[in-house]
Structure 1
Amino acid sequence: MGGPAAVSTNNGQGYAHLIDKSRPWWKNTRLIKLNLCILLLLITSTTNGYDGSMMNGLQSLPQWNVAFNYPTGGKLGLLSAIQNIGCLAAYPFSPYMSDGLGRRAAVLFGAVIMCIATVLQTASHSVGMFIGARFLIGFGLTFAAAAAPVLVTEVAYPTHRAPATSLYNTLWFLGSIIAAWTTFGTFHVPTSWSWRIPSAIQALPSVIQVLLVWFIPESPRWLCSKGREEEALRTLAYYHANGNRNDPLVEYEFEEIRAAIQFDKEIAANVGWSSLIKTPGNRRRLRIMIAIAFFSQWSGNNLISYYMNKIFISIGITDPNTQLLINGCLNIYNFIIAIVAGLLCDKIGRRPLFIASTIGMFVFWVLQTVCFALYSETGNIAAAHTFIAMIFSKSSSTPFMTCIAFTPLIVSYTVEILPFALRAKGFTVFNFSLTLSLIFNQYINPIALAKLGWKYYLVYVCWLAFEIGFIWRYLIETKNRTLEETAALFDGDDNVEMLTQHAAVNAGVTISDRRSDREKAPSEDIIEEVKI
């Protein structure tokens, strides 16, 4: 269900005039502390990025292959996919822990499991033990990854919320970078520690979280949902207004949250999985969430890694050290691009970034398909050289196009369009869809490429054209809005009048009555905005 209609101005920045602009955040001790807590949550994504890059590196290590009897075929495929299978196994349970015990408890639980699993992985002496450990890593990661970005969104300072949440998925590259350079550094270690060291380092983010998670504030929205309104107000005041409970921004946030939670309890008391499809607003959310989850993996970007080793060899780069070095540098480049795009999401907007990303990928993919087809059908050497050059250019260009939207924004956008009552469950559906798309890539892409060759590229040409149309038609701009204001955008005329009345009754006095510079009633503003 959607949250209550929020007070909103025509430009969608209902809280903009309440922000303290007298000094920058880096001069505010409590905001610095809050952002450090958020950083501690963001590194959850680092574990996921580390895992994929580490597995690619381990397969190049002779010591690892010797230790596990040179795994090939189905066994090697299982070693790569087992982490995602572990994620799938945890999805039915993770939202209930996040909603029942709290976001912070779910992060801690997941981090503890990943620490235990990493110890088992490092100590593995058989393929079965290694596979079991990787399954546990995926299982624990689901609990932590389902709660961490949600907690970031719900606790961040209003103007920091979107950039902070956008950095979550971006830190996937940080884990990938660390793994790439770690395996590069241990390549010449003659013993089994050449692969045990990278395995052990994978636990580092989780160990840090287990030790420091106690200092992270719990979500004010979750606290209100459990009747702990005093704690919620104290948290908002401490971090967002230096302890001033009567600060206008704190009052605004608290009234919005309390009205939203009260509405969920009275109108949507039994919020289950079916709530995701019960109302038009929720169906719009579900459609967008599932779409961007698959778009992020099915835009042709994963085919590049499939061809990379052959391309290295075809142009004379056969030294494994050189290959690892190039991959490490490309990860750093992509990391920088994703960070910049994530920090600019509130200035540029979500729609422009998504549209630019999909159009850029489409144009580049069409050009590459033409070159691939010319070489395959006619043996045109110039086309082959151009194709190789474009593959390398694509290693910086298409990830650039992907990184400006589908890396930083898919998590933040999904979390912010979901109302509180469905946030954990909806984010689980998003992650489930993402995992399914990854498993498809791991098993189907190599088979299709072997059977169809360059013609398989045409599938992605058509798919990218579909992505452009979908993003243009259905993606809603949400920049510079509170979570409750964003919820009102999706629910619109379905329940906006009822929700406005409900919020006014529960608040006792509307926020607009308490703000001298707001002349319109909440219902007028929201209905006008929804019509637009």
Structure 2
Amino acid sequence: MMITNIYLITAIAVIGGSLFGFDLSSMSAILPTNQFRCYFNQGPNGPPFNNLTDCSGPRSTVQGGITASMSGGSFIGALISGFVTDMFGRKSAIQMGSIIWLIGSTLCCASQNIPMLIVGRFINGLCVGTCSAQVPVYVAELAPPHLRGVVMGTQQWAITWGVLIMFYISYGSSFLAGQAAFRLPWGLQMIPALILFLGLFFMPESPRWLAKNDRWDECCHILSSIHANNNLDDGFIQMEIQQLKDACELECSKTDDTYLDLFRPHMIWRTHIIVFVQIWCQLTGINAILYYITYIFGMAGLIGSSNLVASSISSVINVVMTIPALLFMDRIGRRPLLIGGSISLTIWWTICAGLMGGYGGPAPPGGLDHIPEESWLITGAPAKVVIACSYLIVASFAPTWGPVEWVYPSELFPLRLRGKAAGLSTASNWAFNFALSYFIPPSFVNITWKTYIIFAVFAFAMTLHVFLAFPETSGRTLEEVEDAFKGVTLAWRMGIDKRQDEERELDQRSEQEKHDGSMHVEEFSEST
């Protein structure tokens, strides 16, 4: 039995996105717990792995390495996934990723020391890199154009659900004594990977991958099953099949595709776009919030359980605010969401930097609550505004850059390069995710509130870049998007030029109808 409902297909496929959210949130909620800090202690209160009650945990650089190890694995996984998906298919690549996740989570759950934990998280990253690159490609190649933004954006919504669910699991586990406080969440995160692996057996393969591999019978059957209730004679199905045949015939003359093809003259412009949409997404600073929000709220005066509860609100906001993008992304378009999101992020980061610098001061030596990363302290009304702005950063990111980062890269490339392009784009995401995950803990220790200024500057820079260079892709088939890159047109003019072309075509059609009408009148007069 094959599942043919596109929404159900998407719901199962994007479980791969929830794995990233599970991992991200488990670190965020577990980092401040005394059980984790004492078991992996490197501070002054005795040897590592003791059971004291006031441990500082791993050193800031080591903690950055623990967090960033998953991003390092994701970088490699995303690059490898381009080859795997072209060789074995989109569905098989995602299944392989789910198996890798089970192995990595087992190592994390059983970790006896910091190196073992880092290896487990690195292996988890191989899965996250593969799934985050190929799930959007998979659902994009199955979805009709008018639903593509919705189903691809669901990847980000799954991530937010993963963050929310695992945060509360980790929060509840924090009340357990001893090692169970962090081993239980790391063990439970294997469940969605198992569901994903089994569910994919009932899912169709990408019809575009099947077409590329000359398996036309299967391709046509899947397209008609999903889009037209098995009516192979449907006009849309026939048009889509013909477009696929034309694209495949055009690409048959191409040599074997490699990552180098993405940097050839006719491809390098769109390659720079898909790389930077992921780089800028990381430089919004969202992972500074999601990974280390407990540090930020600790500097705003929240401690213990109140810190974890307040931090969990950001996960709820993330889930709720992603919904508008799913509903309206295809109507609003990609560019307005990206530009609006980056402008609002610039405002909130700037306010945070101003308040922290103007009203805050150095924390006691060793940081608040023996956490060196909480090296700055702000209190009173300014602290409440910093907390509010942290929530607004999440609320601005969730409906804009969050879902668009997964939708946009999979829309810009022809079929033969789509898998590798998604892999390179996602690898760029994880490279900067690794850098920021490693950079932020030492940054909080060494430059404190100035960390906020860095993200404000990046948010302003990305606004200009999107306006000048990122074209609109909503409402077009994947084959029609290819036509947008023929010739050289400024991104901000593409929508204007498209409207002018449509108006010109309507005028020509109107003139032709008038001409045909006059000819009919003349013929009628002559016959009379």
- 1:343 aligns with 327
Kept in 2, the 8 Å contact 1:306–1:446? The answer is no
Kept in 1, the 8 Å contact 2:63–2:441? The answer is no
Deviation, 1:250, is: 0.5
The partner residue of 1:297 within 279, 282, 291 is: 282
Kept in 1, the 8 Å contact 2:301–2:379? The answer is no
Deviation, 1:421, is: 1.3
TM-score by length of 2: 0.81
- 2:341 aligns with 357
1:476-507 per-position Cα deviation (integer Å, ceiling 9, x unaligned)? 1111111111111123479xxxxxxxxxxxxx
Cα distance in 1, alignment partners of residues 262 and 393 from structure 2: 33
- Please tell me the residue identity of whatever aligns with 2:32: S
- Are positions 1:93 and 2:80 aligned together? yes
- Report which stretch shifted further, 95-104 or 459-468: 459-468
- 1:400 aligns with 395
Deviation, 1:388, is: 2.0
Residue segments in structure 1 that go unaligned for 5+ positions in a row:
1-29, 378-382, 495-517, 521-532
Cα distance in 2, alignment partners of residues 424 and 335 from structure 1: 28
The partner residue of 1:331 within 315, 318, 336 is: 315
1:270-322 per-position Cα deviation (integer Å, ceiling 9, x unaligned)? 32212112134x2221121122112112124444468844664566532x222
Cα distance in 1, alignment partners of residues 89 and 3 from structure 2: 22
- 2:10 aligns with 38
Cα distance in 1, alignment partners of residues 360 and 36 from structure 2: 36
Secondary structure of 1:407's partner?
helix
- Please tell me the residue identity of whatever aligns with 2:14: L
- Please tell me the residue identity of whatever aligns with 1:289: I
- 1:507 aligns with none
Kept in 1, the 8 Å contact 2:60–2:442? The answer is no
Kept in 1, the 8 Å contact 2:223–2:237? The answer is yes
- Are positions 1:156 and 2:136 aligned together? no
Kept in 2, the 8 Å contact 1:54–1:183? The answer is yes
Instruction: Tell me which structure has the larger Cα radius of gyration.
Output: 2
Cα distance in 1, alignment partners of residues 145 and 292 from structure 2: 43
- Please tell me the residue identity of whatever aligns with 1:374: G
Deviation, 1:356, is: 0.9
The partner residue of 2:263 within 277, 283, 287 is: 277
- 1:204 aligns with 191
- Are positions 1:475 and 2:483 aligned together? no
- Please tell me the residue identity of whatever aligns with 1:417: L
- Please tell me the residue identity of whatever aligns with 1:41: A
Secondary structure of 1:188's partner?
coil
Cα distance in 2, alignment partners of residues 147 and 169 from structure 1: 13
- Are positions 1:485 and 2:480 aligned together? yes
- Please tell me the residue identity of whatever aligns with 2:188: I
Kept in 1, the 8 Å contact 2:76–2:427? The answer is no
- Please tell me the residue identity of whatever aligns with 2:264: K
- Are positions 1:190 and 2:177 aligned together? yes
Deviation, 1:229, is: 0.9
- Report which stretch shifted further, 365-374 or 472-481: 365-374
Cα distance in 1, alignment partners of residues 457 and 65 from structure 2: 30
- 2:271 aligns with 286
Secondary structure of 1:491's partner?
coil
Aligned-pair identity (%): 25
Kept in 2, the 8 Å contact 1:34–1:239? The answer is yes
Kept in 1, the 8 Å contact 2:27–2:291? The answer is no
Query: RCO greater where, 1 or 2, for CA within 8 Å and sep 6 or more?
Result: 1
Secondary structure of 1:269's partner?
coil
- 1:504 aligns with none
Residue segments in structure 2 that go unaligned for 5+ positions in a row:
41-48, 50-56, 362-377, 490-507, 511-528
Cα distance in 1, alignment partners of residues 84 and 95 from structure 2: 11
TM-score by length of 1: 0.80
Cα distance in 1, alignment partners of residues 436 and 291 from structure 2: 10
- 1:242 aligns with 229
- 2:159 aligns with 172
- 2:460 aligns with 465
Secondary structure of 1:408's partner?
helix
Distance 1:370 1:223, change over 3 A: same
Cα distance in 2, alignment partners of residues 321 and 336 from structure 1: 23
1:133-190 per-position Cα deviation (integer Å, ceiling 9, x unaligned)? 2221112222233221111000123322111101112321111111110011112222
Cα distance in 2, alignment partners of residues 76 and 133 from structure 1: 15
- 1:262 aligns with 249
- Report which stretch shifted further, 356-365 or 404-413: 356-365
Distance 1:292 1:314, change over 3 A: closer
Kept in 2, the 8 Å contact 1:149–1:411? The answer is yes
Distance 1:54 1:291, change over 3 A: same
Q: What number of residue pairs does the alignment pair up? A: 462
Secondary structure of 2:408's partner?
helix
RMSD: 2.7
